[in-house]
Each structure stands twice: as structure tokens, then as C-alpha cells.
């Protein structure tokens, strides 16, 4: 593996490697729907994981997520991929318990690289209190890694895209910009220190916001990943029959992300997001182009977008800021009025 960088082996990186949302929606539209009253959450409303009613007040939560590397360090890549996959269970209000490794690995890399990727994933699973129970590996010309995750949720605490309410505040728990910053770093424009704000965010588990919301009445949640804040905001608003009103100046943005955006260092996934979700999004003329580019930026292991009452949102934000998280109230849910997301 001497001299080989992981990011040199891939065409797209992290969650930006997802299928274009328009293409994916066409594929999913042709899949048969199997009706089962115990399947409480499936793929119909673009939720982060499925929830299956166990009949005892709990739901079984399951998800899978994997992608190519957006960093060259194999241990760090494993950490990011694991944190991203585990996030889907927390986004449903649940607790991840078990995980299976999913590893695609090229023959040109040494086994020690594979070991470091798996070790990074195991490190984050250990931090999350999740048992890695096995996994599956295949040969592939591009390295890819992720997890299949199983967890549980108390059904009276289950969160879904469809459950936001009119008047809810919208809380975002991480700053935006991972796609832009990692693209700039891969292109040699941004140094290691500049991209560290992104990698530090990507390896931060989304466990804490759900734990610190204990006692609060959360209504809906999604994690902000490859389809961007605008895309995932659209999915929540449409599933809930509402319009998300976003205050652009309140959205937390990573240092230098807007600078890199002004230089044109925009990942291809951001353009795909804008093409698909753009018709459902209304952005005020006063919002600068570089900031709107960040709003469509595909995030890898991004934060949670939570909907809850205004008063309880302030309580949650206070708790998370005390814990050092770059969280903010970025808008609210309003009665449906044409577009799915309005950025002001």
C-alpha cells in the first residue's frame, strides 16, 4: 500500500457517492409494497431506518449504510463510516445494539489497511456501546466500508419524518460543510488543518442529542447526510404535510466551507441535490450563492435535524451547547404553502 491514498481509488467519496435522489426515487417507485401492520416505518417516507413492532412496546430498528472513503487514513475512514451508519438508529429515537461489518476491498491494498478500517469502525461501535457481531467482505476495485445496524426503540419515543407538527422549531446538531471541505482537501486546496473541522465532526456520534433529549417531547427527526440539509428537510416537510422555514443566517457552517464554495469546490452530489430538490425549495434572493451551495452540500455523518416545540428546543440547545456541540435552532415548521422548504 506504500504511497497509495484511499481517496485516489474512488470516483466519489462518502455520502456524496449515493445514487442521485431523482434516480433513486424512480427505482423505489417500482418496488412492490408489502403491507404488514407490524412494519411501522418502511421506505415510503424516506426514513433513516425501518421500525418493526415487537408487540411489547418496543420496536426493532434496522438499517445499513456504507460508502467509499473521503479521507486517506484507513482508521479514520472506519470511524467516519461507522458513526454515519449508527446515526440512522438514533435518528429514529432508538438505541443501536448490534452491528455487522460491510467491507469492499481491492487487492491492491495490504491487509493491514483492511485491519485498520475495521479497527476504526470497532472503535466507534465500542464508544456507542454497540457489539460488532460479524460481517461480510468482498473484493472490489474501490474500497467501501459501513455497517448493518440493529437496535431498539420505545415506541412512544419513536421518531419519523412524518411526525413534525406545525409550529415546531427545527434544531440542527452539527455544522454543514463536510462535502465541500473534503472535496477541497482531496483537490489539494485545503490542508490537513483546514479539513480537520470536518473530520472531527464526522467522527462525532449522534448519540448525545438523543440522550440529552430525555424528558423532552421530540416529534420528528432525520439525520442530514448525502441528500443535504435541503433534501432531508424536504423529505421531513413533505412527509409531515408542512413547509420548513429555514433562517439561512442561523444555520451553522464549518470554517472555510463558504470560502471553498466561492472557489467552486462543490462536490457533484451538491449539484444533483439542487437539480432534484431545487424545485421544492424557495431561496430568498438575499441568500448568497455560496451559502445556498452549502445548504445543498452532501453531508457525510452529518448532524440530526430535530422537530420539537419551541420552548423545548431552547432547552435541548442549551444542554447540547453545554456539552460543546455546534447546535442551533435554524427555523420552524409552518402550514403547507407551496414549496417544501423556504429559506429566508
* 3-state DSSP percent of the chain in helix, strand and coil, to 5: 40, 25, 35
Cβ–Cβ under 8 Å, residues 312 and 27: no
Rg (CA), the chain: 19
Alpha-carbon distance 58 to 312, whole Å?
Answer: 25
| Residues ≥6 apart with Cβ < 8 Å to 179 | 14, 15, 16, 267, 269, 270, 297, 298, 299, 300
Cβ–Cβ under 8 Å, residues 139 and 54: no
DSSP per position, 240-283: HTEEEEE-GGGS-B-TTHHHHHHTT---HHHHHHHHHHGGGEEE
Cα–Cα distances in angstroms (integers) from residue 26 to residues 50, 194, 270, in the given order: 20, 38, 19
Q: How many CB atoms lie within 10 A of CB 138?
A: 9
3-state secondary structure (DSSP) of residue 147: strand
Q: How many CB atoms lie within 10 A of CB 37?
A: 6
Q: For 103, list phi and psi in degrees, rounded to 5.
A: -125, 120
Whose cell is 448525545? That residue is 208
Q: What is the DSSP letter of 7?
A: G
Angle, in degrees to the nearest 10, between helices 178-186 and 192-202: 140
Cβ–Cβ under 8 Å, residues 265 and 187: yes
User: How many angstroms separate the first and last alpha carbons of the chain?
Assistant: 49
C-alpha cell at 84: 454515519
- Residues assigned a catalytic role: 15
Amino acid at each position: 500500500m506504500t504511497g497509495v491514498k484511499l481517496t485516489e481509488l474512488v470516483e466519489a467519496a462518502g455520502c456524496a457517492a449515493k445514487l442521485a435522489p431523482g434516480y433513486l426515487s424512480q427505482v423505489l417507485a417500482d418496488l412492490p409494497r408489502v403491507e404488514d401492520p407490524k412494519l411501522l416505518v418502511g421506505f415510503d417516507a424516506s426514513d433513516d431506518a425501518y421500525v418493526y413492532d415487537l408487540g411489547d412496546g418496543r420496536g426493532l430498528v434496522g438499517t445499513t449504510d456504507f460508502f467509499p472513503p473521503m479521507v486517506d487514513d484507513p482508521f479514520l475512514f472506519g470511524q467516519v463510516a461507522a458513526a454515519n451508519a449508527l446515526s440512522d438508529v438514533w435518528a429514529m429515537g432508538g438505541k443501536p445494539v448490534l452491528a455487522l461489518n460491510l467491507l469492499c476491498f481491492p487487492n491492491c491494498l495490504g491487509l493491514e489497511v483492511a485491519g485498520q478500517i475495521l479497527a476504526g469502525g470497532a472503535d466507534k461501535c465500542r464508544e456507542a456501546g454497540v457489539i460488532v457481531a460479524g460481517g461480510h467482505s468482498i473484493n472490489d476495485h474501490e474500497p467501501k466500508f459501513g455497517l448493518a445496524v440493529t437496535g431498539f426503540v420505545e415506541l412512544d419515543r419513536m421518531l419519523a419524518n412524518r411526525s413534525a407538527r406545525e409550529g415546531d422549531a427545527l434544531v440542527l446538531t452539527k455544522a454543514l460543510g463536510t462535502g465541500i471541505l473534503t472535496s477541497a482537501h482531496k483537490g489539494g486546496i485545503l490542508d490537513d488543518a483546514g479539513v480537520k473541522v470536518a473530520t472531527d465532526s464526522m467522527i462525532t456520534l449522534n448519540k448525545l442529542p438523543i440522550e440529552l433529549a430525555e424528558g423532552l417531547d421530540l416529534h420528528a427527526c432525520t439525520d442530514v447526510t448525502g441528500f443535504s440539509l435541503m433534501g432531508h428537510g424536504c423529505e421531513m416537510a413533505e412527509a409531515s404535510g408542512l413547509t420548513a422555514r429555514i433562517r439561512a443566517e442561523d444555520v451553522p457552517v464549518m470554517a472555510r466551507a463558504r470560502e471553498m464554495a466561492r472557489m467552486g469546490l462543490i462536490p457533484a452530489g451538491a449539484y444533483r441535490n439542487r437539480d432534484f430538490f431545487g424545485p421544492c425549495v424557495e431561496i430568498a434572493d438575499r441568500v448568497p450563492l455560496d451559502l445556498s451551495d452549502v445548504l445543498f452540500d452532501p453531508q457525510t455523518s452529518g448532524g440530526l435535524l430535530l422537530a420539537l416545540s419551541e420552548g423545548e428546543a431552547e432547552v435541548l440547545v442549551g444542554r447540547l451547547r453545554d456539552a460543546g456541540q455546534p447546535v442551533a435552532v435554524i427555523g420552524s415548521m409552518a402550514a403547507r404553502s407551496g414549496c417544501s422548504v423556504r429559506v429566508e
